[in-house]
Amino acid sequence: MTSRERVIASLNHREGDKIPFDIGGSAVTGMQASTVYRLRQALSLDPPGTPVRVVEPYQVLGEIAPDLMDAIGLDVACLWGRKTMFGFENAHWKEWRLFDGTPVLVPAGFNTLPEPNGDILLYPEGDMTLAPSGRMPKEGYYVDAIVRQPPVDDETLRVEDNLEEFTPIGDEDLEHFRKEAERLYTQTDKALLASFGGTAFGDIALVPAMWLRNPRGIRDIEEWYVSTVARKEFVRSVFERQCEIALKNLEKLYAAVGDRVVAAFTTGTDFGTQSGPFISPKAYRDLYQPFHREVNGWIHSHTGWKSFIHSCGSVNRLIPDFIESGFDILNPVQCSAAEMDPAALKSNYGDALTFWGGGVDTQQTLPFGTPAQVAEEVRSRIEKFAPGGGFVFNAIHNVQARVPIANLMAMIETFNKYRAY
């Protein structure tokens, strides 16, 4: 089978020749740039000192280039948008170094100004005349959002203030997606996972809007969560308008890329903690499900795409509602959280959902276990999730910085040893 055929088979709950494998197919299934660099060195893909592109500067994700994809047997390619989370284009690369010394290439808009304490600041659209919207702490590995919300005045709060980022898609972005989809579809055999944006309702990573020059409305993380209860009708109105725009954009996007795309990253809104959901099923059904149904209903009525939900933590009690909302794929399948036993998930929901993730724990086993423990967990997860299809192997969320290469190699080698059906 080609990679594309293999993924499609699994998404349709059929066993192909092998279990599909994803690293780098999205912003939540990738790998931190310093780890990408060390993996490439371990595989002798580059001379020492060869930089790795940072394709997602917020989480400092490294590019999973075609040679690395082939070296470890990956099946999924990401159809990225034209711009980063900071609003500058992913283009015109320049050299930089991470705090740990890793040589990288960053986009031209990645303009930084160190603070006196050594922290690094990033700016909307790379414009250093504006207030910074991101901070990488000294010796850190990732960027934190800087909240730039003025005090909220309920008397003057307008729905439009939280809709500035949701606009009709422009011709330049449509042409970017069209060209990239065509290139990836014709020049590779990979399954395309598209990250179009605009369909995640209340994704907290997006609320601070680091790409906006002067964000208005409710942009503080705590204030936003409080507002889903205290200002519920305001939030609902934002979602209603966002949904209208999203459906019109999806129509244009489908006209541009067609069924070259296999799955669409629909939402990254997290609903789980380590110990359970932080929203009740009733509250999910009231505020989020109507809009998820509309988006997924449009996708299923008009396209051949599958719909992908990323929701970390313990979401077992919400999974029946996710299925009812029309989601086809669940990620990251955080098996270390409460009520997320792999065998139970597969038994209860395996006929309806594809589990995209769950392959190895990135909180404990992969960074802190032994290679033998990593190998055993990978083998066990394959045994539980793979039968009957409906499984795409990926680590639970992004592979982090400082993961021992021996552990990463144990994950890759064990998976490739047992991936054949």
Residue range 71-89, pLDDT digits in tens: 999 999 999 999 999 999 9
Is residue 55 situated within a structural domain?
no
- Whole-number Å distance between alpha carbons of 101 and 124: 25
Segment 83-128, tens digit of pLDDT: 999 999 999 999 999 999 999 999 999 999 889 999 999 999 999 9
Interstrand relation of 261-267 and 94-97 (parallel, antiparallel or unpaired): unpaired
CATH code for the domain in which residue 317 is found: 3.20.20.210
pLDDT at position 63, please?
98
How would residue 150 be classed by pLDDT, with cut points 50, 70 and 90? confident
Edge to edge, what strands does the sheet with 391-392 contain?
76-79, 191-194, 261-267, 306-310, 329-331, 354-356, 391-392
Is residue 330 situated within a structural domain?
yes
Is residue 63 situated within a structural domain?
no
3-state helix, strand, coil in the chain (%, to 5): 40, 15, 45
Nearest to 219 by CA among 125, 118, 151, 170: 151
**Which structural domain range is residue 404 located in?**
3-30+68-83+150-418
Return mean pLDDT, the chain.
97
Is residue 298 situated within a structural domain?
yes
Is residue 41 situated within a structural domain?
no
Is residue 46 situated within a structural domain?
no
- Is 111:123 a contact under the CB 8 Å cutoff? yes
The model scores a pTM over 0.95:
yes
Is residue 61 situated within a structural domain?
no
pLDDT at position 114, please?
87
Looking at the chain, the whole-number percentage of residues with pLDDT higher than 70 is 100
pLDDT at position 113, please?
82
Is residue 370 situated within a structural domain?
yes
Number of domains in the chain: 1
Given a cut of 90, whether residue 208 has pLDDT beyond it is yes
Given a cut of 90, whether residue 136 has pLDDT beyond it is yes
Segment 274-316, tens digit of pLDDT: 999 999 999 999 999 999 999 999 999 999 999 999 999 999 9
